Amino acid sequence: MKKIAYIVGAGLLGLSSCLASTSSQSKLDEKMIEVQKKMITANKNYSIKSIEIINKKAVDDKWKMYTFDISLIDNRNKKPLKTPMVVFTDGKYETNSLMNMETGIRFETQEKIRLQNIKKRADKLTIKTFEKSFKLDDKYYNKEHLISGELNAKNKVVIISDPLCIACINMFPSVYKSLKSKKDVAVFYYHYPLKMLHPTAETVSKAMMLAKQDGIKDIELKVYKANFNKLFDVYKMKDNQVALDTFNTTFKTNYSISDINNHSVDLDMEIGKDIRLKGTPSVVFNGEIYEARKKLSKFLVK
C-alpha cells in the first residue's frame, strides 16, 4: 500500500493508553465521545445536551475521521446551540485537522463542505414543502392595497415590491399593464422597501402611500415608469430629503418628511414574513407562492 504523508493540525491530543490497545470499535466510539465531552465541559459557558456520531470513516489504514453532531446549551443566556465537529484519531492521538501533504487537501474541510451540501438540500426541501402547502390569508385582499380590478374577482394577484429595486422597475409596468387588460383579475400591491440595498426606498414608498390617499391615480405604475434609478443612484443615495424632492418634482406634489411619516410600511411588510419572502419583486398568484411566477406567466398568455 502506498504511504501518504500527512500534516497533523495543532491541538494534538494524547488519548489514554487503553485506547491504543482497544480492539473493539464500539469502545473506540465511546472513548471518542467521552473525550469530546471532557473538552467541551471544560468550558463552563456550555453544557452538553447531546453528542452523537453521525459519520466515521477511515482516512487510511492508520487515521480515522469522526464527525459529531453536538447540541449544547449556552449557560450565559440558556440558548440552545447545534454544531458539527470533525476530529481525527489514530487510536492514540486526536487532532481536529489533517492534511494530505501530496494533494494539499484538508480532510476536515472536505467533510464540512459535505455537511453544508446536505444542509442546503434539506433546507431547499423544507422551503419547497412550505411553498407547496402555503395559502395566503384572505386578510391581504383588501381595498387599501387594491390597485386594479374588483375586490371579489375570481383571480387575485399580489405584487410585493420595492420602488427602487431595478428588477422591480423592469418587471412591474409590463406585468401590471397585462393584468389590467385581463378580465376578472384583482391586483394588490404591497410595499417592501429594502433599505439595506436602497436606503431611501422607504421614503419613496411612504410618498406613494400619501399620493394614493390624495387620489393620484395609478401612482404605483407612474413611479415605476419614472424609474428613479435614472434620477439618482438608488444604492448610494442616503438623503431622504433628496429622494422626496425627486418625488415631488416628478409628480408635482409638495410633500414634506413629516407629511409622509404619517404613513408606515410596517403592516405592508408583514406579508413578507408570512410568505418567507426571499427578494423583490415577489408574486402571489391566487393565494399560492409555489412557482407563482410561472403560473402567472401562463395565465397572462392565455
Pairing of strands 93-95, 13-14: antiparallel
Report d(CA 288, CA 269) in Å as an integer: 18
CB-based contact 56:82 (threshold 8 Å): no
Residue 219 has pLDDT above 70, yes or no: yes
Rounded CA gap, 45 and 41, in Å?
A: 8
130-133's contacts with Cβ under 8 Å and 24+ in sequence apart are 130/276, 131/289, 131/290, 132/290
Tens of pLDDT along 111-147?
Answer: 999 888 888 887 787 778 888 889 999 999 999 999 9
Q: How far apart are CA 142 and CA 120, in angstroms?
A: 37
Structural domains present in the chain: 6-113 (3.10.450), 138-300 (3.40.30.10)
- Lowest mean pLDDT across 1-15, 72-86, 187-201: 1-15
Handedness of CA 220, 161, 138, 284 (dihedral sign): positive
The predicted structure's pLDDT at residue 204 = 98
Pairing between β-strand 185-191 and β-strand 155-161 as defined by DSSP bridges: parallel
pLDDT given at position 17? 42
Q: Cell numbers for 24, please give them.
A: 473493539
pLDDT in tens, 18-65: 444 445 678 889 999 999 999 898 999 999 999 999 998 999 889 999
Q: pTM for the complete prediction?
A: 0.65
